[in-house]
Amino acid sequence: MSGWTIGIIGGSGLYDVEGIEDGEWVEVASPWGAPSDALFRGRIGPVRVVFLPRHGRGHRISPSELNARANIDALKRVGVTDVLAISSVGSLAEDRPPGSFTIVDQFIDRTKGRPSSFFGSGMVAHVSMADPVCPRLSGLAAGAARAAGAQVHEGGTYLAMEGPQFSTRAESNLYRRWGCDLIGMTAMPEAKLAREAELPYALVGMVTDYDCWREDEAAVDVAQVIAQLSANAAKARGLVRHLLRGLPEVRPESPIDTCLDTALITAPKARDPALLAKLDAVAGRVLR
């Protein structure tokens, strides 16, 4: 087997991964609560793969109610080394039409009330989010998306809103003035938590609509999103197949693998044993 264990977090429209060999659904307990669903674990060729439907099978969990800490902890707990997140998004840019894919490289977090860190009182840590995605994995995802026939933009800023309602026109236009390219409801705090768990993370945004900033068009609704989902999902499955079959035989190390080395600040004698116990999978490498 290779050194890769790729975690695939599937968003709206991507509820399974085709071609997984020796696959099985595995229930994973997390001290952070229940993940969105069981994990589907198997392999494609020599690459181990673990799939998690972000909203649960049947799309039963709202963006605001996702337990992102449990999701990331569960992936780390089963040995995932890198995370590819795939999400349906709205476009805030004319040149990123429905059906196109963007390999996101920046985020603006406008969510509220979602637990956004594994750390806290009794074990404080500050990871860098200046460059929030893994350029190595993002580049591989871009190549795989093109091989799957998608129109691909490399780089783009994702505005993470709380939801579950769609934007007002004023908000949509404000985010465009901020220079945002995409809008979605699920990438935060997911990307922050992946960094705290030392998991290199890449996000593919699959555009379903133009949000509501185009005044000569009807505002986005669920029917419009669903109509675009099936076409996007077919390309997303192709992307995953091409990515997993095209990975380098040996997984190169990433600086993200050891980012907690320079993030912990609480003195050892002041650390809370109960919180340390919950961090066994996420940060066990540096806390043992």
Residues annotated as part of the active site: 209, 211
Q: Is 169 helix (H, G, I), strand (E, B) or coil?
A: helix
Question: Which ranges of the chain would DSSP assign to H, the alpha helix?
Answer: 68-77, 135-147, 169-177, 187-196, 222-246, 273-278, 280-287
User: Measured between alpha carbons, how far is 281 from 117 in angstroms, rounded to an integer?
Assistant: 14
Bridging pattern class, strands 157-161 and 152-154: unpaired
Identity of the amino acid at 51: F
Do 205 and 156 meet the contact criterion of CB atoms below 8 Å apart? yes
The strand pairing partners of 44, in sequence order, are 47
User: Measured between alpha carbons, how far is 216 from 212 in angstroms, rounded to an integer?
Assistant: 10
User: Measured between alpha carbons, how far is 125 from 115 in angstroms, rounded to an integer?
Assistant: 15
User: Measured between alpha carbons, how far is 224 from 142 in angstroms, rounded to an integer?
Assistant: 26
Bridging pattern class, strands 5-10 and 82-91: parallel
The strand pairing partners of 220, in sequence order, are none
Find all residues with CB under 8 Å of 124, minimum gap 6, and list them: 264, 265, 266
